Structure 1
């Protein structure tokens, strides 16, 4: 097992680079951990606008309008109604809007002319400005419709408020959501980190073992060519197993009980199929790379290409149709599809996961066969 022992010896010298990528991965994971929640239902909270109301008309109609606005907003007492004070409170976000009901509002309402009877001060071109205007205009336009039908002004305003209280009941009919949990982000970004860690640690080892000096010594000894390749294959398998165990331990530390589910098991299976593909790709590039300086460049090109086009860095639903067609030729695309299925799995058959894993294994077989072909071609050229 001399070749295998040499593989492990060189692998020990690459531990520092593996640790570096693990730290990068943990940094990305912690970033998403701070921005995601496992309970999407708590993401939305109703908020009320902060509004200051001044009623100068003091009529029955203006009181009904003032009460309606007060019930649907948070009250704020402004110190003075001069232009400078209003602008200061709006600028410092003390208030979202200042509404002044002028004298003659009731007369304007009774004459069906209320479009310009309310003075509203807001920050221009902001969401709060639009919400304030919609709140007032919708209420008054509804009341005006009732008034035109023969109702009195007070009856119209009361009916408009009753209409405003009508809301539809919303029920969740499907638990499937595009807002993924931390568990999904952990395993999806694992697709990028697995390529980086396996490439920077595996390709340099294969470059050394495939060098002319090592190859010439093996040919001069009683060491068979098949035995050498078997031990190299065993070394690559050991590399993959060590990396997979490291990230498995990290998943239990970070995600805890979230991985102790059927969804977690499916994600682990999908990741295991993907790392086999990555190791096969390492074996292929190990036959092609001639210098250590090329390893970093190849690692970045492959990892970033797989990540941006395959859906790791950019969600698949944000990719254009043209990019998605290209992504179908990348194993990372099928890995992400597997992650999405595992994350959203609720009940029923999970054979779809094995469909994605089988595609990843087909890529692994193709890369391995290409590598073997290159090895045979090199052997023929050396004779």
Structure 2
């Protein structure tokens, strides 16, 4: 047990890695997955967004007046003097989200160019801090001008009032829109499932770096020389070192799992305890994969910088192929085929099998067992690579 305690002490000498890779990345996973899935709006219909705008009419024509009235009806109009300083101050202080400037000659140019088939006049819009609202105002302004040009072309003899009347009749026509509650459609366990998918990155980084440092240190030439000179067997040294690494893995897995369960509230959302337990068990099996990778890298005498680099790059790549960053359904078939050669794909598939259904069935458990089994085989295969490295070094 002395060797096991010494090995654990080596891992605890690097609290920065434990703090960054375990705690910080777990909290980041909450922000990126659970927070983004919380409180999906539930509404009975669609309501367009509103912005605060200042309308500066430098034309004064009847068509420009109708255009300004349309925007004022769609958004909250604020009266501001047509002075450069006043306009800039209104945008800087967020008094308005956008400033709409109707240039001189707008009404006449809109009618003439619309009938001639030329380029319609441009409305000047200055954006504020609320860029989405400003973009919406600009889109609506461009649409209104396009409708006015089309109305002028369809009725060449129509005056500004008639053109404005035609635009007023056409502008409210929109496609039917409804809001779907995606959170309910995905199920109550979706935030927890997304968090576990992201945790494949944090677990890979933390285990590869922390366990790799322990294994690299314990496999050092001086320590092994002292072990050979003592009555202690090398097998005992290796077994207790791996036991210490496994304790680190369990601690990392436990912290990550507790954070996810508490933050997502999955147990209070109606998801069964057995389903949550099976999902966490799948993550524990997956955690053996980066442990095996750390073992293989330690046999290759990987440095601390190399462990950090490969842990981050490997974790990022595996989590991507597991669908943590982008759903695999939206990727190409070639990427989906490559993803099947990553342990994260099978671990996440096992997690999805038990969390995406209301109850456990034989088919669900079979799919879960296949995913967990294939993930474990990845750990075994990578461990064999580490033993092969030992064999080649001793040969």
Q: TM-score, normalised by structure 2?
A: 0.68
Deviation at 1:303, TM superposition (A): 0.7
Q: 2 CA distance for matches of 1:197 and 1:252?
A: 24
CA contact (8 A) 1:198 1:282 kept: yes
Deviation at 1:57, TM superposition (A): 4.7
Structure 2 equivalent of residue 20 of structure 1: 17
Instruction: Select the residue among 184, 189, 210 that pairs with 2:201.
Output: 189
Structure 2 equivalent of residue 79 of structure 1: 81
Deviation at 1:363, TM superposition (A): 1.4
Matched, 1:237 2:252: no
Q: Secondary structure at the match of 1:211?
A: helix
Q: 2 CA distance for matches of 1:270 and 1:359?
A: 11
Q: Sort the Cα spacing of 1:183 and 1:162 in 2 relative to 1 into closer, same or farther, 3 A.
A: farther
Q: 2 CA distance for matches of 1:308 and 1:106?
A: 56
Q: Secondary structure at the match of 2:55?
A: strand
Q: Sort the Cα spacing of 1:12 and 1:116 in 2 relative to 1 into closer, same or farther, 3 A.
A: closer
Q: Secondary structure at the match of 1:358?
A: helix
Deviation at 1:362, TM superposition (A): 0.9
Q: Sort the Cα spacing of 1:258 and 1:10 in 2 relative to 1 into closer, same or farther, 3 A.
A: same
Q: Secondary structure at the match of 2:205?
A: helix
- In the alignment, structure 2 segments of 5+ residues that lack a partner are 128-133
User: Which stretch of structure 1 is more off in the superposition, 115-124 or 137-146?
Assistant: 115-124
Q: 2 CA distance for matches of 1:362 and 1:107?
A: 70
Q: Sort the Cα spacing of 1:264 and 1:107 in 2 relative to 1 into closer, same or farther, 3 A.
A: closer
Deviation at 1:87, TM superposition (A): 6.7
Deviation at 1:285, TM superposition (A): 3.8
CA contact (8 A) 1:176 1:344 kept: no
Deviation at 1:273, TM superposition (A): 1.5
1:219-262 Cα distance to aligned partner (Å, 9 max, x none): xx7x6x76666555544433432332333344445x25146646
Structure 1 equivalent of residue 168 of structure 2: 161
Q: Secondary structure at the match of 2:155?
A: helix
- In the alignment, structure 1 segments of 5+ residues that lack a partner are none
Q: Sort the Cα spacing of 1:329 and 1:249 in 2 relative to 1 into closer, same or farther, 3 A.
A: same
Matched, 1:141 2:149: yes
CA contact (8 A) 2:115 2:153 kept: no
Q: How big is the alpha-carbon RMSD for the aligned residues of Structure 1 and Structure 2?
A: 4.8
Deviation at 1:365, TM superposition (A): 1.3
1:306-361 Cα distance to aligned partner (Å, 9 max, x none): 1233235964769888877766544356556667x479835586454544332221
Q: Secondary structure at the match of 1:165?
A: coil
Structure 1 equivalent of residue 180 of structure 2: 172
Q: 2 CA distance for matches of 1:326 and 1:162?
A: 54
Matched, 1:296 2:304: yes
Deviation at 1:48, TM superposition (A): 3.0
Instruction: Select the residue among 287, 290, 303 that pairs with 1:278.
Output: 290
Across the two proteins, how many residue pairs are aligned to each other? Answer: 361
CA contact (8 A) 2:5 2:244 kept: yes
Q: Sort the Cα spacing of 1:8 and 1:100 in 2 relative to 1 into closer, same or farther, 3 A.
A: same
Matched, 1:5 2:2: yes
Deviation at 1:142, TM superposition (A): 4.7
Deviation at 1:272, TM superposition (A): 0.9
CA contact (8 A) 2:197 2:319 kept: no
Q: Sort the Cα spacing of 1:116 and 1:323 in 2 relative to 1 into closer, same or farther, 3 A.
A: closer
Alignment of 1:1-383 (within 5 A): 4-18=1-15, 20-31=17-28, 33=30, 36-39=35-38, 41-42=40-41, 46-48=49-51, 50-54=53-57, 57=60, 59=62, 63-80=65-82, 84=84, 88=88, 92=92, 94=96, 95-99=98-102, 105=108, 108=111, 112=115, 120-123=123-126, 127=135, 130-131=138-139, 133-144=141-152, 147=155, 154=161, 157-167=164-174, 168-172=176-180, 175=185, 183-184=195-196, 187-190=199-202, 191-207=204-220, 211-218=224-231, 231-252=240-261, 255=263, 257-258=265-266, 261=271, 264-265=276-277, 267-289=279-301, 294-312=302-320, 315=326, 329-332=341-344, 334-335=346-347, 341=352, 345=356, 350=364, 351-373=366-388
Deviation at 1:97, TM superposition (A): 1.4
Q: 1 CA distance for matches of 2:106 and 2:235?
A: 99
User: Which stretch of structure 1 is more off in the superposition, 64-73 or 36-45?
Assistant: 36-45
Q: TM-score, normalised by structure 1?
A: 0.69
Deviation at 1:75, TM superposition (A): 1.0
Deviation at 1:120, TM superposition (A): 3.1
